[in-house]
Each structure stands twice: as structure tokens, then as C-alpha cells.
Amino acid sequence: MARLPAVLGTDHLPLAELCAARLDGELFVIDHAWAPVDEPDHPAFRAMVLSMRSPRSLIIERMSAAWVHGAIDDAPTVAQFCVPLDARIAVVDRPRTLVREVRIDDDDIVRFGDHRCTSPTRTAFDLLRDPSLDDDVVVGVVGALQVERPALATALHERLDAAVRMPHRAAARRRLELAESGRRSARDGDQPSLTR
């Protein structure tokens, strides 16, 4: 008998069976999928979950990528994907799924098996420049991405310095500075006082 994948959908089992397994405590619902209750929560698992929303191999990006990398607790309501400009992909018409064409290098993509996601650096870079997002949200997510990646801030400064004629550059720099100062404050607050 073939082993079922770690993330299930109605392509794998009928909806009634998935719901029954959830009621029996064997599966739980995550985003638009079901998974065994003992499945570990790691980036590859989250990438599999989000890929259930896309009909083809797309690149997970922005807030969806932030969820994959562990910077936010819940998957965004609207899954965000991108494709390279030269991909020549038809329009993806799926509910609560957004796909955009971007210029992206292979170095900006990390792979989790068959699933692709923007790297933490590219994810933060895209979020810093996104004018549709609230500053506090971006600062919090970029700060969370930096927690386990101390070199991320330097990589982002270099990337912003190298970008020529980039829209929203000043806002991106301000947001990055706020994320760094917030991270420093949190780190310093965790340190015991040396003056006592």
C-alpha cells in the first residue's frame, strides 16, 4: 500500500474521510489542507501546505514565505506566489491566491523538496518595499526573520544600497532601521544588568 503524503487534500482522500479522520483526532486542518497530528512543524511542511493552494509549481513569496520561514504564526488568508518574468505562465484563477511576475535570481530561491520559496533575505527585501503593508507588520516580520539570522540585516543593507532607482527605497530603509532597533532593544532587555 502506498504511503500518503504528509499534507493531504481531496486529491488524496475524499472529503468525508478527511473530516472523519479529523474528528477521530488523527488529522488536523492547516490552511487548505489536512495533516497528521504528529507531523512536525518545519519550513518544508509549511511549504507543502501552501503548495496545496497552487495548481502548478509557483514560488512562495512575501507574507506566505514569512510563514514558511517561521516569522509569523499563521498562514496568510491570501497565499502569495510569484513566477519569474520569463516563465510565461497563464493566469492562475484560484480563490485567495495571488500570483505576480517578478525579476528573481536562483540565489533568491530556497527549495524544500519540490516546493520553492523565496529566501529569508528576498522575503524581507520584498516586504520592506511593499507599500500595501502596515509599517508595524513589516517591522515585526523582518525583526522575526532576523532572530535566527544575524547576517540578514547586513545582507538587506547591501541589497538596498545596490538597488538602483528602486521604488519605496526610503520607506524600506526606515522599516529596516526600525526592525533592527526593535531587535536590539529586545536583545538588550533580555540581558541581565551589569550595574547591579
Q: What is the per-residue pLDDT for 194?
A: 44
Q: What is the per-residue pLDDT for 193?
A: 44
Question: Could you tell me the pTM of the whole model?
Answer: 0.85
Q: What is the per-residue pLDDT for 120?
A: 96
Q: How far apart are CA 99 and CA 53, in angstroms?
A: 11
Q: How many other CB atoms sit within 10 Å of the CB of residue 195?
A: 3
Residue-by-residue pLDDT tens, the chain, 196 positions: 457 778 888 888 888 988 998 899 888 888 888 888 988 889 999 999 998 888 677 999 999 999 999 999 999 999 999 989 887 776 666 778 888 889 999 999 999 988 999 999 999 999 999 999 999 999 999 999 998 888 999 999 999 998 878 888 889 999 999 998 876 666 555 554 444 4
Q: What is the per-residue pLDDT for 187?
A: 59
Q: What is the per-residue pLDDT for 159?
A: 92
